[in-house]
Chains A and B, each alone.
Chain A
Amino acid sequence: MATSAPISKILDAGLGETVIFPSPGQVIRRRMRRHKGLIIGGIAVLLTFLVAVFAPVLAPHDPYAQDLSKRLIPPFWHEKGTWDHPLGTDNLGRDYLSRVVYGCRISLIIGFSIMLIAVTIGTTMGILAGYFGGTVDMVVSFLVTVRLALPAVLVALAVVVLIGGSMTVVIVALGFLIWARAAVVIRASTQQIRSQDYVAAAQAAGCSTIRILLTEILPNLADNLVVVATLEIGRAILLEAALSFLGMGVQPPTPSWGLMISEGKEFMLFFPYLITIPGTALFILVLGMNLLGDGIRDVTAPEGRT
């Protein structure tokens, strides 16, 4: 397939072409314990999940409650900090810890939703292209090339502004823009799986195509899907942050981390905690997702590490 070779090679730079061999659970568990990145990433992601789930318990205040008489109180490590607002308050006197905690929810919801859209589109295209090859493959590769040619941030900005900013618009716009990588990776894996004996056996046994796709191909893509999905969540969260930074992401007063950075950036020179706190939170989550994704790939298919 002429059109896809270079592109797939390029996109795989971050992910690696993965060869799937069914591995005994024991081997994987042992590899997992030895893989520091996976453990660190896993813990980081788990923690953020817990924070998101228990946000109402963890947040000391209402994240939306504004008290203009309590503006810009610094965090506890600062001499003027108070334990009533452990991470201080923002420019409008809202409790920063509560906003970070609820922001965790928003950022995860955004990341997951975008990923779901992107991975669904990407996987469907990738499986179809990889399994059927020929014309279908050509069309999918063409679509991937077209999508990559469009500047993603710019198109997302334009769509959000022209349709009107809201969380749903941001999610849908980004979801429809970042599926290409998933498509390329899944296509490559599907091609490899298709040539396996068990697929040939199913074909010989006269199973319907849909059945083969759903029962033979898809389950064997599971490891790859998990890897792609975790990495895409990280990317999606970063993209949303960039849109928010440019003032065109999620609309206030929703506490998304990207928006908090964007609101705090005006104060960066003199009240740096306003952006270092949500910035660090964002960094930990995205780093965690990336380490987890890389780690799962290493563990399930160590020969794919690049």
Chain B
Amino acid sequence: MMGSKLKRIGWIGFILVITFAWIAAPVWAGKKDDVLNIAWEKELETLNLYYQTAREGVILGRHIFDRLIHRDPESGEYKGCLAKSFKWIDSVTMEFELREGITFHNGEKFDADDVVFTLNHMSNPENKVKVYQYVGWIKNAEKLGPYKVKINLKDPTPAAFEFLAGPVMIYPDEYYQKVGMKEFGVAPIGTGPYKVVKVTPGKEIVMKKNENYFKESPKGQPVIGTIRQRTIPEANTKMAELMTGGLDWIWHIPKDQAEKLAQMPNIDVVAAETMRVGFLYFLLDSPQVKTPFTDIRVRKAVAHAIDREAIVKNLVGGDSKVVHTTCYPKQFGCTEEGVTKYDYNPEKAKKLLAEAGYPNGLDVDLHAYRDRPYAEAVVNYLRDSGIRAKLQYMQYSALREIGRARKVPMAFWTWGSNSVYDISAFVGNWYKGTGDDVIRDPQVMEWLNKGDTSIDPAVRKENYKKALQKITEQAYTVPLFTWVANYAFSKELDFKAWPDEIPRFYMSKWK
């Protein structure tokens, strides 16, 4: 009898201990603790940001790392960041004077070696960065002194400043070489306003304010002490957490829910235009799959089948606009002048299909990876014109993989140009023979090349225009509309949204 009683007490004790172990775990929340809780649905594959293309990675990149130059989001002006000053020597040579006294988060000193290493390493095709367009223009970087660097370009590259101010982050050379490409992805070290203190891959990332952030930084000084990012896949869960104070900031909220959230007393909602443009991208030919889009009439039929105005007005809302070319209208070189526009005309679509040999319509898959309702609306419009599209919805990385392997006849893509205000960041990835390009029209590639490498703005514009005209005339893609990002956040948070779709928490503070 005694024994069983002891055993029982032992069990109760055991259960209590375990229970307390759970309860004791800290619960972090909001302004009170100076912790900014944010969430998005994406699991990032790596924090080695040259090896991923997701928007969320771009955002983290602005917080963890700095670049040689900084583009002021307000004025659009280029300012020295890690570089004190910079100048063009000639059209293929740039020179940078670096700031002294900056340290990386691990204490490593920042100097010319870091810059030279990063640029030479990432621009080496053998190291296979994900978007080669951003670094491919670099021939090499040379160290001129401990704080002086020269970059040699392959060809004149007018967009070089844009790339240097955006995707080209500076890594610490010693640390990177020591830990290697993969380990860097879970323990990144930069000079930026926030340092990563904890990474649970796919689950959460905790960043703390960099107390030693260099005072001269044009990005300003970080205010909020801790940023904790969580991955929450369920939209309702995310919104419920925001409503109850478990989160302070979320985004990518569909229009209708954003309108409802805006009515809540403790939540602010901002709808901001973004640089993201959506489009349908065709596979013209492939050894792997059958594609009906070899025939230009089928491509044109798709273009005529979709009522883009209705989608923009009813589904996307905000400042979203229909576009007729695959680029963001405010990017340098982006134009709709002289391009072929396709109006919403289901009758014409059916006629084109019949001419192409599909009088009874055709069956095809539409692949998509985000904003499922938009993709479904497109599917339904196609159906009305006899194109019975089945939606294959999958994750971004998976779609990118099979798309590049030429297995996707038609995909609903979007592109945010990595927030670079130059058309080369957009069309360079989709029509220039590298990256995601599976169309590979040699003439388009040649025009784009000329545009990318001329320093005369007029010549650049002329060549991009020609390329865009050919692309639309051939209906290689169906440009759809620009994106709107709905941000919802706690009323206690001072947050400003920018059109380049990069939330800058280092500029946020508590009210």
Judged by CB atoms under 8 Å, the answer to whether A and B touch is yes
CB contact under 8 A between A269 and B257, given known A68-B314, A71-B315, A166-B390 = yes
Which residues of B216-247 have CB atoms within 8 Å of chain A's CB atoms?
234-236, 239-240, 243
Task: Identify which of A17-25, A140-148, A246-254 touches chain B.
Answer: A246-254
Which residues of chain B (391-416) have a CB below 8 Å from chain A?
391-394
Q: Please tell me if the beta carbons of B379 and A271 are within 8 angstroms of each other in the complex.
A: no
The segment out of A34-42, A188-196, A260-268 that lies at the interface is: A260-268
**Is A92 an interface position by the 8 A CB rule?**
yes
Cα-based distance from A93 to B380 in the complex (angstroms)? 11
A91 in the interface (beta carbon within 8 A): yes
- Which residues of the other chain, B, contact A71 by a CB distance below 8 angstroms? 256, 314-315
Query: Which residues from A are CB-within-8-Å of B380?
Result: 64, 66, 92, 94, 253
- When distances are taken between beta carbons in the complex, the residues of chain A under 8 Å from B384 are 66
> Interface digits, A94-128 against B, CB 8 Å rule (1 contact, 0 not)?
10000000000000000000000000000000000
Q: A15 on the interface (CB 8 Å rule)?
A: no
Contact across chains for A253 and B383 when beta carbons are under 8 A apart: yes
Which of chain B's residues have a CB closer than 8 A to the CB of A247? 393
CB-nearest residue of chain B to A262:
B372
State in angstroms the CA–CA spacing of A271 and B255 once bound together.
Answer: 13
Alpha-carbon separation in the docked complex, A198 to B402 (Å):
61
B-contacting residues, A220-251, CB 8 Å: 247, 251
Give the B interface residue count (CB, 8 A): 30
A94: chain B residues at CB < 8 Å are 380
Please indicate the chain B residues that have their CB under 8 angstroms from the CB of A267 in the complex: 254, 256-257
Nearest-Cβ distance from residue A39 to partner chain B, whole angstroms:
37
- When the two chains form their complex, are residues A265 and B381 in contact, meaning their CB atoms are under 8 A apart? no
> In whole angstroms, how far apart are the Cα atoms of A267 and B256 in the complex?
8
Cβ of B310 under 8 Å from chain A? yes
Q: Which residues of B contact A161 (CB under 8 A)?
A: 394
Q: Which residues from chain B contact A270 at a C-beta distance below 8 Å?
A: 256-257, 260
Min Cβ gap B339→A in Å is 25
Q: How far is the CA of A66 from the CA of B375 in the complex (A)?
A: 13
* A 157-173 binary contact with B (CB < 8 Å = 1; else 0): 00001001110000000
Closest A residue to B389 by CB, please name it: A253
Name the residue of chain A whose CB is nearest to the CB of B312.
Answer: A68
- Output the residue of B243, B310, B313 with the most chain A CB within 10 A: B310
Q: Using CB atoms, name the residue of chain A closest to B257.
A: A270
Chain B contacts with A in 352-382, Cβ cutoff 8 A: 372-373, 376-377, 379-381
Q: A251 CA to B366 CA in the complex, in Å?
A: 11
The answer to whether the Cβ of B311 comes within 8 Å of any Cβ in the partner chain is: yes
**Which partner residue on chain A sits nearest B234 by CB separation?**
A265
Looking at the assembled complex, report how far the CB atom of A270 sits from the nearest CB atom of chain B, in whole angstroms.
Answer: 4
Contact A268 B236 (CB under 8 A): yes
Decide: B377 and A92 in contact? CB cutoff 8 A.
Answer: yes
CB of A69 within 8 A of CB of B310, answer yes
Nearest to B391 among chain A residues (CB) is A252
Q: Once the chains are docked, how many angstroms separate the CA of A8 from the CA of B500?
A: 61
Complex CA–CA separation, A169 to B234 (angstroms): 26
Distance between Cα atoms of A265 and B390 in the complex (Å): 21
Instruction: Kindly report which residue of chain A lies nearest to residue B260, judged by CB atoms.
Output: A270
Beta-carbon contact of A269 and B376 below 8 Å: no
Which of B236, B254, B260, B307 has the largest count of A CB atoms less than 10 A from its CB? B236
A-B contact count (CB 8 A): 72
B373 adjacent to A91 (CB under 8 Å): yes
Neighbouring B residues of A72 by C-beta, 8 Å: 256
| B391 and A251 contact, CB distance less than 8 A | yes
Instruction: Please count how many residues in chain A sit with their CB below 8 Å of the partner chain's CB atoms.
Output: 26
| A12 smallest CB distance to B (angstroms) | 31
Picked from A66, A252, A266, the residue with its CB within 8 Å of the CB of B381 is A66
Within 8 A of A (CB), among B39-78: none
Chain A contacts for B235, CB-based, 8 A:
265-266
Residues of B within 8 A of A92 (CB): 315, 373, 376-377, 380
Question: Nearest Cβ distance between residue A157 and chain B, in whole angstroms?
Answer: 12
Least distance between A205 CB and chain B CB atoms (Å): 56
Contact A251:B392 (CB < 8 A) given known A91-B373, A265-B236: yes
Find out whether the CB atom of B257 lies under 8 angstroms from the CB atom of A68. Answer: no
**Chain A residue at minimum C-beta to C-beta distance from B373:** A91
- Residue of chain B at shortest CB distance from A165: B392
B371, chain A: closest CB distance, angstroms: 10
Least CB distance, A233 to chain B, in whole angstroms: 25
Q: Which residues of B contact A251 (CB under 8 A)?
A: 390-393
* Cα distance A271–B257 in the bound complex, in angstroms: 9
Specify which chain B residues have a CB less than 8 angstroms from the CB of A164 in the assembled complex: 392
Q: List, in ascending order, chain A residues with CB within 8 A of B234's CB.
A: 265
A251-B391, A251-B392 known; A68 and B310 CB under 8 Å? yes
Q: Complex Cα distance A251/B314, Å?
A: 23
Q: Which has the most chain B C-beta neighbours within 10 Å: A71, A92, A94?
A: A92
Cα(A164)–Cα(B393), bound, Å: 10
Point out the residues of chain A lying under 8 angstroms from B393, CB to CB. Answer: 247, 251
* Pairwise interchain contact A253-B240, C-beta atoms closer than 8 A: no
A265 to chain B, nearest CB (A): 7
- Other-chain contact of A269, B240, B314, B381 (Cβ < 8 Å): B240
CB neighbours (8 Å) of A91 from chain B are 256, 315, 373
Can you sample 21 A-B contacts with CB below 8 Å?
A66-B384, A68-B310, A68-B315, A68-B377, A69-B310, A69-B314, A72-B256, A91-B373, A166-B390, A251-B390, A252-B379, A252-B390, A253-B383, A263-B372, A263-B376, A266-B373, A267-B256, A268-B236, A269-B236, A269-B243, A269-B260
- Besides A68-B310, A266-B254, 16 new A-B residue pairs in contact (Cβ under 8 A), listed by A number: A66-B384, A69-B310, A71-B256, A71-B314, A92-B315, A92-B377, A93-B314, A251-B391, A251-B393, A263-B376, A265-B234, A265-B236, A266-B236, A266-B373, A267-B256, A269-B239
7 A-B pairs with the lowest CB-CB distances in the bound complex, closest first: A68-B314, A66-B380, A270-B260, A68-B310, A252-B391, A251-B390, A268-B236
